[in-house]
Structure formats: C-alpha cells, structure tokens
Amino acid sequence: MVVLIDTNVIIDFIIKRQPFEKESTEVMKKCASREIQGYVAFHSISNLWYILRKMPENERREWLVNVCKCLTVVGADHDEVINAIKKSNFKDFEDCLQDKCAVGVNANYIITRNVDDFAGSEIPAILPEDFLKIENV
C-alpha cells in the first residue's frame, strides 16, 4: 500500500491535535514501521516549518527530521507543476500539488482530513480513520 500523507495529518500527529491525534498517530506508525509505504510532498516540509514556527527551532528541526525518516519526500517536476497550475478544478493549488506528488509515486490514496478539497484529484483522498478501517481489514 502506497500513500501520500497530507500536511494536516502530520500536524495533527506532531501537535497532538484533538480529536485527530489518535488516527494520525496510527497512520504515521504504519509508515514508520514500513507496514505501508508513506510519502510526503516536498512543499509540505516548508509548510510544516512555517506552521510550527511557535515551536522552538531545535524541536521543530527534530520533528521534521523524524517525519522525513518515516515518510519519503517526493516532488513534482516542472511539467507536473505547469499541469497543476492549469487545473482549474482544484479550489486549493497546494492540494493540486499534493495530488501531482501522489501520482508521481503511484499512491493508492492521499490521506487527508480535507477530502472534499481533493474532489478533482487523480488519486483518491481518504480520511485517516477510513484508511485505517481499510488497512485493518
């Protein structure tokens, strides 16, 4: 199973955001144990750096290194970015880039809490709790 983890799921895991911590932690554990093959989009790392800016810098660096140890960082090439720019069926350009990165690794799912934002994606988006139900069957 190959998945791309959206930024919001990683944030839930790092800051233990309730009520989402349990499912996000379970997904991240499955990636860390290599039970599933997890990826994170390159641009999510800089987004996380910014979003977590209230966290002490050394702690933030440690968290991001740990995220990169359990998720493989993936990017989109020039043509994929141009293609993403042209896709008007995405409300959020950043989500479109997530989709392009997921396509690049042949992901089965994008795991996100914002499933509706991925209505136009090539890779199906799924909530962490729904993914865990599928994965535990």
Predicted confidence (pLDDT) per residue in 63-102, tens digit: 999 999 999 999 988 988 888 888 777 778 888 899 999 9
Output the pLDDT for position 94. 85
Output the pLDDT for position 83. 84
- Through-space distance between the first and last CA atoms of the chain, rounded to whole angstroms: 13
Residue 110 — φ and ψ, nearest 5°? Answer: -105, 120
Output the pLDDT for position 47. 92
* 45 close to 75: Cβ distance less than 8 angstroms: no
**Exposure string for 16-51, b = 16+ CB within 10 A, e = fewer:** eeeebeebbbbbbebbeeeebbbbbbebbbeebeeb
Confidence of residue 11 (pLDDT cuts 50, 70, 90): very high
To which residue do tokens 């968290």 refer? 63
Q: Is 130 exposed, middle or buried (0-12, 13-18, 19+ CB in 10 A)?
A: middle
Output the pLDDT for position 2. 97
Cα 51 from Cα 61, distance rounded (Å): 13
Domains of the chain: 2-135 (3.40.50.1010)
The β-bridge partners of 40 are: 73
Please compute the mean of the pLDDT values over residues 37-42 and round it to a whole number.
97
Cα 90 from Cα 87, distance rounded (Å): 7
